[in-house]
Amino acid sequence: MGETQSSATFRVWRGDATGGGFCDYRTAVAPGMVVLDAIHQIQAEQANDLAVRWNCKAGKCGSCSAEVAGKPRLMCMTRLSELALEAPVTVEPMRAFPLVKDLVTDVSWNFRAKRTITPFTPRRPDAPDGTWRMQQADVDRVQEFRKCIECFLCQDVCHVLREHHLEEQFIGPRHFVYTAALEMHPLDVADRVPALKRSNGIGFCNITKCCTKVCPESITITDNAIIPLKERVVDEFYDPVGRLVKLFSRRQRP
Amino acid sequence: MADVETIAHDVLVIGAGGAGLRAAIAAAGRGVSVGMVCKSLLGKAHTVMAEGGIAAALGNVDDRDSWKVHFADTMRGGQYLNNWRMAELHAKEAPDRVRELEAWGALFDRTRDGRILQRNFGGHKYPRLAHVGDRTGLEMIRTLQDHGIHAGIDVHMECTVITLLKDGDRVAGALVYDRERGRFHVFRAKAVVLATGGIGRAYRITSNSWEYTGDGHALAYRAGAVLQDMEFVQFHPTGMVWPPSVRGILVTEGVRGEGGVLKNRDGRRFMFDDVPENYRNQTATDPDEGWRYTQGDKSARRPPELLTRDHVARCIVREVREGRGSPHGGVYLDIAWIRERLPNAADHIRKKLPSMYHQFKQLADIDITREPMEVGPTTHYIMGGIRVDGDSQMSTVPGLFAAGECAAGLHGANRLGGNSLSDLLVFGKRAGDHAADFASQHGAVTVDPCAVDAAARWALEPFARTDGEGPFAIQHALQETMQDLVGIVRREEEMQRALVALGALQARAARVAVDGNREYNPGWHTALDLHNLLTVAEAITRSAIDRRESRGGHFRDDHPAKDPAAGGYNTVVRRGPDGAMQLAREAIPPVPAELRAVLTEMG
């Protein structure tokens, strides 16, 4: 167990867009420590300018995403006791995004991509006082998606973005989860299915479930968000009977 | 400075938590151009950490609730030092602000008849907190964020303000650096809204992240604004205490709202041993009544675990000091016990408190459905802040507004749980509306290039020093000083020592040196933040020395009783002409008759 050791070596990626390499730092290890603690200790004691993005340190804000020992993780939720500390622990930035410096990447594309998705569009209020009625069972399904902390680890691990860099044609798992939350929202009446097929590129996803595996919030991204959205695209565009029916009946609009 | 880019807006919002986002949405809604700078990425501000819920007298669960009850609860919780106008507006407007979130896509937990569910919380007479499990803050900030990105707000992420700029008496904008490149930018604006949150990083044990260094407080103070109630810091009673690396991380009051109880080493529910006089007739007299209250029995009174946070925190400190604490210096918070009362208790706990379950399981190897948690107080919130007008949220500097935690007034001497999220919405909107109106009604401002130059030069000085000290050691020393000498239990002699220590730290901070270059350099950022932390630490300490009584979040071991005379004023600090901090007592304006009648009616 790592927790009995008194120190460990962290092989931290240092550098910026022009280049860089790994640097080894040996630092003290105490019971209960997480990777982010080790990075902070290194920053305070050995490398004041080591760049790392973090906020809540409790797995709620999704800022400290990185690749620890080769796996996309939140540094604040990765305990040293889960890692083999006999050898150096590599800590490197997310690889799918452009590097800013050290462990910090430029994730701004994610914010731009989100803005292209049709925002929440509610039906008319149910009650005269302007409020709505929803059952808990109906909100439960969507609440799973709304747990997302926007750590972008799912984006980092998705081969469409990581290897193929199709950012212009594909919004990535995070935004499929966001779209699913809107499409399955009990009050929402907008139709995002045509966009999913065209500009959002849902067809590029070939359901390898890498995103689901790395989600720190355990959102069942592929099964509960992406596959149902793919089914909607199929129903809308590839079902001959459905197309015929649609020809004669207009989809209800708000 | 020739290489400083200038960006002009009608309204500049500083901070992108709940208050900043709500202010920016409001201002943009009035048709003015709005810029927003935030220290982190969008959606990461501390609002995301709020767990329990948003207090609003919707009356969905108990129709006896109304704005009047909420107003009276807030005033009682704040020990009547509150800005009563803010408490009134907050209680009246919070329900509309919550319903508005739902119209923007928020999905709150539901009642059986499909309305927004509300839960019990400390100091609230009726179940009042609209919530989403224990991740209400995430739901709220994401809703505001996703709505805000379509509102025409110009967002600048990872930008930090060095100084506010002025044009005569008026605020004229801010000098900002971006973290990524370390470049300076001037934001010129006719009105500025500060929504920078709190000061938690002034203490060693805190629930706050690195960002909460009192920036708004210090910026406003240096721009000539008045701060008030700075002695009132809220130590949340339940932070994690073990393992050491998670010390201070918040454990939601929702645990107690759902029936969790506090016990000492001997298994005694010590909260029953000390119920303050002004809450006695609202508090259960035995465990059974307390349990029934948490399960919605309207005839039952709330358990003593749901007394106000200041009181619960002090009771925990007492248990620990008197040797009845848990092994790691806290007490036990037990929700697992409800299996004696509920079938499927484990599922119920996981459903109601999913992130608490997750947090303890992952960070402490504790299964909260089976074992008690160890908890102790953690620096959580500052009631004090920038003195503002209750209606408009404008500070004493024309054009400078403040909302949320960095503003003072609503919470008085102690904030009730759940009242901060509603505070952000109600006063974020008000600040945004009034800032937009101010910008529309006032002419253009000019930025003084000399002031920009001077501030930029100051910000770069740490790079030029070759023999100075690094910033982290100074920050740690400051946190130790405040934790040990100006913490939950305060004494004159210790606080005087703190003042001396702060003076020495100021001297050290003036010689701070940093390595590396301007790009994403946390050492440099910490060096700049130190300046703000030292200002708020001094304001807290001076105000705490001056208030020789115990009230709300401020407890004086050497003056343990409440002094009725001290209930009539707010402590204020401002920067004197010589640059030294000046302290004064400002009488609280009398509560108008109609609100006095409400307070009497609500007992």
Q: What's the mean pLDDT when you consider all of chain B?
A: 96
Mean pLDDT of the B470-482 span: 96
Q: Which residues does B142 contact at the CB level (< 8 Å), separation at least 6?
A: A146, A148, A150, B43
| Same domain? A35 vs A82 | yes
| Same domain? A75 vs A100 | yes
Range B237-378 classified under CATH 3.90.700.10: yes
Residue A5 has pLDDT above 60, yes or no: no
| Same domain? A223 vs A119 | yes
Alpha-carbon span B284 to B269, nearest angstrom: 13
* Four-CA torsion B466, B472, B475, B477, nearest 10 degrees: -90
Q: Select from A56, A110, A133 the residue whose CB has the most chain B CBs within 10 Å, as the one to mutate to test that interface.
A: A56
- B138: nearest CB among A60, A106, A120: A60
Residue A86 has pLDDT above 50, yes or no: yes
Q: How far B129 CA sits from the closest chain A CA (Å)?
A: 16
Alpha-carbon span B584 to B226, nearest angstrom: 10
| Same domain? A138 vs A73 | no
DSSP symbols for chain A: -GGG-SEEEEEEEEEETTEEEEEEEEEE--TT-BHHHHHHHHHHHT-TT-----S-SSSSS---EEEETTEEEEGGG-BGGGS--SSPEEEE--SSS-EEETTEE--HHHHHHHHTSPPP-BPPPSSTTS-----HHHHHHHHHHHT-----HHHHH-HHHHTT--TTT--HHHHHHHHHHHHT-TTB----HHHHHTTT-GGG-----HHHHH-TT---IIIIIIHHHHHHHHHHHT-HHHHHHHHHSPPP--
Q: Strand ranges (DSSP E) for B302-406?
A: 331-334, 373-382, 385-386, 400-402
Interface ipTM: 0.94
Residue A246 has pLDDT above 90, yes or no: no
Q: What is the per-residue pLDDT for B2?
A: 52
Report CB contact under 8 Å: B105, A43.
no
Domain extent for A179: 108-248
Burial of residue B493 (number of CB atoms within 10 Å: 0-12, 13-18, 19+): exposed
pLDDT above 70 covers what percent of chain A?
96
Residue A251 has pLDDT above 70, yes or no: no
| Same domain? A193 vs A90 | no
Number of compact structural domains in chain A:
2
Alpha-carbon span B537 to B382, nearest angstrom: 12
Q: What is the per-residue pLDDT for A244?
A: 77
Residue A241 has pLDDT above 90, yes or no: no
| Same domain? A128 vs A201 | yes
| Same domain? A153 vs A190 | yes
- A59: nearest CB among B42, B46, B359: B359
Chain center to CA of B532: 16
**Between these two residues, A249 and B11, which has the higher pLDDT value?**
B11
Mean pLDDT of the B446-464 span: 96
Which numeric CATH code is attached to B457-568? 1.20.58.100
Residue B543 has pLDDT above 90, yes or no: yes
| Same domain? A113 vs A235 | yes
Domain C-terminal end among A61, A85, A105? A105
Report CB contact under 8 Å: A114, B244.
no
CATH number at residue A114: 1.10.1060.10
Is B457-568 in the same CATH topology as B237-378?
no
Q: What is the pLDDT of residues B34-44, one digit of tens each?
A: 999 999 999 99
| Same domain? A203 vs A118 | yes
| Same domain? A101 vs A113 | no
Domain C-terminal end among A105, A120, A138? A105
Q: What is the pLDDT of residues B350-401, one digit of tens each?
A: 998 988 999 999 999 999 999 999 999 999 999 999 999 999 999 999 999 9
Report CB contact under 8 Å: B244, A147.
no
Q: What is the pLDDT of residues B400-428, one digit of tens each?
A: 999 999 999 999 999 999 999 999 999 99
Q: Where are the domains of chain B?
A: 237-378, 457-568
A119: contact with B, CB 8 A cutoff = yes
Q: What is the per-residue pLDDT for B1?
A: 53
Domain C-terminal end among A49, A84, A105? A105
| Same domain? A216 vs A139 | yes
Residue B576 has pLDDT above 60, yes or no: yes
Q: How confident is the model at residue A3 (pLDDT cuts 50, 70, 90)?
A: very low
Residue A180 lies in a domain: yes
* Selected catalytic residue, list B256, B314, B415, B547: B256
Residue A254 lies in a domain: no
Q: What is the pLDDT of residues B9-28, one digit of tens each?
A: 999 999 999 999 999 999 99
CATH number at residue A78: 3.10.20.30
| Same domain? A100 vs A113 | no
Residue A252 has pLDDT above 80, yes or no: no
Residue A253 lies in a domain: no
Q: Which residue of A has its CA nearest to B524?
A: A49
Residue A230 lies in a domain: yes
